[in-house]
Each structure stands twice: as C-alpha cells, then as structure tokens.
Structure 1
Amino acid sequence: MCKALYGAETKHTSIATSYNNIGSVYKSLGDYGQALEYHTKSLDMHKAIYGAEANHTDIATSYSNIGSVYKSLGDYGQALEYHTKSLDMCKALYGAETNHTSIATSYSNIGSVYKSLGDYGQALEYHTESLDMHKAVYGAEANHTDIATSYSNIGLVYNSLGDYGQALEYYTKSLDMHKAVYGAEANHTGIATSYSAIGSVYNSLGDYEQALEYHTKSLDMHKAVYGAETNHTSIATSYSNISSVYDSLGDYGQALEYHTKSLEMLKAIYGAEANHISIATSYGNIGSIYYSLGDYGQALEYYTKSLDMDKAIYGAEANHTDIATSYNNIGLVYYSLGDYGQALEYYTKSLD
C-alpha cells in the first residue's frame, strides 16, 4: 500500500519502515538472508532520504538491526562493525557524554557480540556500561525492565565464565526487579525468562532438584501467558531446558520426551521443512540423548540432520561454531563405533 500511495520508486520513510518490519519478521523466522536484504533496503532508503552522511535515529536503528542479523549468522566481525556504527551515530545525535537509552542499548548489543566471541572481559565491560547508563537515566533505585535486562546480561557473562555464584546473584536481581515491575504474582515473560536463567545455573551447579523446579516454573508461566495449547518458542525452550536437566540426571527417557516435544513445537512454528537454528539445535540435542543411550545409529542420523541444517542456514562452506560442533559430534559417534578413519576425518573438519 505504501508503494501504491507514494510510488514504487519513491524514497519514503513509510516504505523504509515497511522494509525494516519485513526484515524483522524474516529474522524471527530464521531466514537471515532475507532479513539482511530487507534491513539493507531500509538502510539504503533512509540514507537516500536523510543523506548518506547524515546522523539520524532511523539510520542508527538500521545499523543495529543489520548488526543483529550478522550476530545470528555468527559473523561477529560484521555484527560488531554495525553495532559500533549504531553506537557512534547515537553518540553523535545525543552527545558523547549523554546518558540515553539508545546508547545504553548499543552498549548492550556490543557486549552480547563480545560474549559470543568469548571475550568475556569486554562483554562484562559493555554490559556494565549499559547497566550504569540505564540507572543514570531511570534512577539508581528505579525498577525498570531495561535495568532488569542488564542484570540478566551480566549474569549470562558470569555464567559463561563459570562463576555461578555471581551469575545467580545477577539473575536473581533481574527476577526481583521484574516482579517489582509486573507484580510478584503476575504471569509475565520477563519473570518466566528469569526463572529459566536461574534454573540453568542450578543445573550447572548440579542442583538438579532446584533446576527442575525453576525450569518448570518458567514452563508453567509461559503456558499461562501464551496458552496451554499454544505453540510458542518460549514454551519450546522450556521443554528443551527441562530435558537438559533430565539428561544431567541420567533419565534419558524423560530427556528424549521433552526434547522431542520441543522439536515438534518448533516445527509447528517455523514449518516442518524449514531450516532454523532452533530446529538444528534440537536435532543435535536429540542426537546427544541417543548417543548417551548407546544408540549410535540414531545419534548419527540426528547429528547429521543438525549438520545439514546448519550448512543450509550459514552456507555449506561457512565457518561457524555450530557446524564445528556438529562435525565433532559426528566424529564422536564414529569413534564410539570403532570407525577411526571417519572419526579422524570429522574431528579434523571440526579442528580446521
């Protein structure tokens, strides 16, 4: 309609916004090629409207969106480049020393890229800058979702560092703040996500009873929010998390049941034939359960499905951690089968 109103070849902010919105949908669907195409169209149109060298919030947003797509693709160099462009433009717009939510968000995005790169020192630095700025904007004692998110991001870095005490502390701060914002008895995705994060820490600590309790709380709340019979990614994630606890407990039957529930829900959401990183991860998780059960044929089948889907998503020749993990998993199966030639081949692929 916007093209019909303004002209198919016209540069207009409404058309650029539509491109942006379509890009966001494709990113949610896991179609990162299309997402990148539409977000780039949005960026190019905004530059044509405001000027190629102009500083404008719409351009900064486009940079951020493109950075997020590159992060999802595992191209962290490009992700860092675009998120930094967004940060620099926000600083040019609002002032380098100004406290502003857009600058704080850019710090957070950059922190998340550094975490994915395994540079936890830089990740912690940027997430802390984001937290400090949000507190400066809203008030040091304020309860706000942006502050809660910063606590959660910092907890995630500590969790990756294996500092589970600090991770639990920050995740609990995030949970308490979400409850303060939405109500202690409220059903809300922010609270459910905090429950999930805390459950994951307890799983890492080997406290499986607590882990199961928190992941179940998260599942129940997500069902209360979205509907008990609804297919939703958050519910699928809860199923996967509960499965991981059962896996840690050595209850592979229950683990397989919950991972299968997660996989079926993801296929219902994205399409039975869709290529999506969440589906690829589910295949890998189910493969791991079969490996633990000693069913190497099924393990090999699911690990190969995961590998093929990762290649379809990232590119057959792409270098990506998910592809490397799949190679390693397949090598592990062949080693267990005593096929050392194939094991060596896949282990080498993973290394290279």
Structure 2
Amino acid sequence: MGEYSKALSYYDKALEIKQKTLPSNHSDLVESYDNIGLLYYNMGEYSTALLYYYKALEIKQKTLPSNHPDLAKSYNKIGAVYYNMGEFSRVLSSYKKSLDIFQRALPPNHPTLGTSYNNIGIVYYYMGEYSNALSFHQKALEIFKKILPSNHPDLAVTYGHIGNVYYSVGEYIKALSFFERAVDVGQGSLSPNHPHLQWYKNSLEDVKRNCK
C-alpha cells in the first residue's frame, strides 16, 4: 500500500497543476484521471476508481468522435471495475458500448473485437445466460481462427470459455472436445505452471469424471 500512496500523492499533485493551467477538457487531464482511476482500482477502492474513470470518459465524450477507440477503452475500464464489484448488468452495458464503438472503428476481423466478444461472453456466463455466452465466445473464436496462428494463447482461452459453457449446461462430450483443444494449444504456447493451462487441465479432468 505504501507504493500506491506514493504514486497517488504524485498523481494528485500533477493533476492539481494541470487543473490550474489547462482547459477543463484537455487530454492531459484524461491521462491523469485514468492513472488515478487505475491506482484506486488496483487498491480495491472501486467506487473512487469509477469516479475518476467517469471524469476521463466525460472529457473524451466532449472532445472525440463517437467512434473513437479511446472511448471504447474507457467503457472497458469502467466495465472492469463493475466486474470486480459483481454488478454484471452494468458490466454488460459498459462492454456492449465498448463493442459498439470498436465495431464502427475497426475492421471486422480485428483481434480487439475478438477480445470484446469474449469479455461479453464471460459476463453472460456469470449471469447464467449460457446461450448468449456461447454465441459471443463463438464469434470470438471465428475471428481468432482467421487471424491468429493455431497455437496462439487467445485461441486456447476461447476454447476454455466455450468448454466452460458446455460443461455448465451438461454437454460433457462437447466440453471435453473444447478443453482438449485448450490444453493442446496451451501446452504449446504457455509455461507449464501458467494458471490458464492449469485451468484447462483441471477442467478437462473434471469433464472426464463426468463422462464416465
């Protein structure tokens, strides 16, 4: 916590100077608000993190085109805070706003879109809306298969998410297939003690027990 306090003191002083010398919608203020928001996020002070992230978003909304990727990034940051607060309906709203902007700003097979689809799929999964979760993870997989090498970790994690959905709805044979793919790709791209690889392997063993 000591390091966070030092960093916070530094950022607060920098922000105070900027507020006195710059217009209220200057991009340098956005940087300060985002930096302070991230510090509070890492400290687990989520309500305060949101306060600063929304200040950054407000300036971006006034100064950037409606399809600018930096707006989408702000919505992602806000969504991540709500995720840690367990407020999944607000997470979903933020992530969908982010996705809408990325869809207008980026090519249809851009990897950022794949990541956005996966993020939304995860939220639907935790909300128990498994058909929606599966739909978004499959959209992510479709993009990643087109643009990434076959041993890329993003493919492995997407296989893992799809495996989770099938496991949760009792479709163990399909879950088995996707966890096997996740393990196969993960073993070729991750260190042996990587937490994702452990997740794939443990999930695969769980599915195998249910298939007996």
Q: Same fold (TM over 0.5)?
A: yes
Residue in 2 aligned with 1:213?
Answer: 93
- Indicate which of 331, 339, 342 corresponds to 2:202: 331
Q: 1:122 to 1:221 in 2, by over 3 A?
A: same
Alpha-carbon contact 1:123-1:157 (below 8 Å) kept:
yes
Alignment of 1:73-92 (within 5 A): none
Q: Number of residues paired by the alignment?
A: 209
TM-score by length of 2: 0.77
Greater mean alpha carbon deviation, residues 294-303 or residues 234-243: 294-303
1:299 corresponds to which letter in structure 2? A
Alpha-carbon contact 2:30-2:59 (below 8 Å) kept:
yes
- Indicate which of 164, 168, 174 corresponds to 1:298: 174
- Indicate which of 136, 151, 157 corresponds to 1:281: 157
- Indicate which of 161, 175, 194 corresponds to 2:57: 175
Greater mean alpha carbon deviation, residues 202-211 or residues 217-226: 202-211
Greater relative CO, 1 or 2 (CA 8 Å, sep 6+): 2
Residue in 2 aligned with 1:259?
Answer: 137
Matches of 2:101 and 2:152 in 1, distance apart?
25
TM-score by length of 1: 0.50
Segments of 5+ residues of structure 1 without an aligned counterpart are 1-119, 340-352
Q: CA deviation at 1:172?
A: 1.0
Q: Deviations over 1:312-350 (max 9, x none)?
A: 334xxx365xx23322443244246548xxxxxxxxxxx
Q: Deviations over 1:138-174 (max 9, x none)?
A: 9665544454345334434544544321232222122
- Indicate which of 107, 115, 119 corresponds to 1:241: 119
Alpha-carbon contact 1:178-1:191 (below 8 Å) kept:
yes
Matches of 2:179 and 2:26 in 1, distance apart?
42
Q: 1:287 to 1:158 in 2, by over 3 A?
A: farther
Q: CA deviation at 1:250?
A: 0.4
Matches of 1:285 and 1:164 in 2, distance apart?
26
2:140 corresponds to which letter in structure 1? S
Segments of 5+ residues of structure 2 without an aligned counterpart are none
Matches of 2:29 and 2:97 in 1, distance apart?
23
Matches of 1:279 and 1:166 in 2, distance apart?
35
Alpha-carbon contact 2:179-2:200 (below 8 Å) kept:
yes
